[in-house]
Amino acid sequence: MDKASMPPADPLLLAGTWQLLSLTGMEKGEITHPLGEDAHGQIMYTMDGCLSAQIGGSGGYVGYAGRYEVHNDVVVHRTIVGSTPQWENTAFSRTVEFRDGRLILRAEAANGLPAVTVVWKRVSH
């Protein structure tokens, strides 16, 4: 689906707890696994605009918490704390797509970090 035809992200659909299915990067035309093929994690979005994300694997760990805003098909994560200084007090923009019951977040390459695609499934209770 091209970006022009993607519907706006709905904060009500985003709110909840999501389990990581995959995290892949793209560098020089090659698919990579920045935190390892065994990456696992969780992201939580609250109805009042808070978020917490934790992802770990054989390639390392990243985590942060803060606030989020939704603008059309983009979610902006505004971090307060992070697992490294570069993940603290910053804003990360992610394109949002809901497909087949999955949440797909995409980030363009920036600040020395590769483009990434992160796929999540909702945690059911």
Whether the Cβ atoms of residue 90 and residue 98 lie closer than 8 Å to each other: no
Q: Decide if pLDDT at 7 tops 70.
A: no
CA quadruple 80, 85, 91, 92: dihedral sign: negative
- Ranking 32-46, 66-80, 99-113 by mean pLDDT, the lowest is 99-113
Q: Decide if pLDDT at 8 tops 60.
A: no
The whole-number pLDDT of residue 5 equals 45
The whole-number pLDDT of residue 124 equals 80
What's the Cα-to-Cα distance from 95 to each of 24, 58, 105, 111, 124, rounded to whole Å?
15, 26, 5, 17, 24
Q: pLDDT tens-digit profile of 82-116?
A: 999 988 999 999 999 999 989 999 999 877 778 99
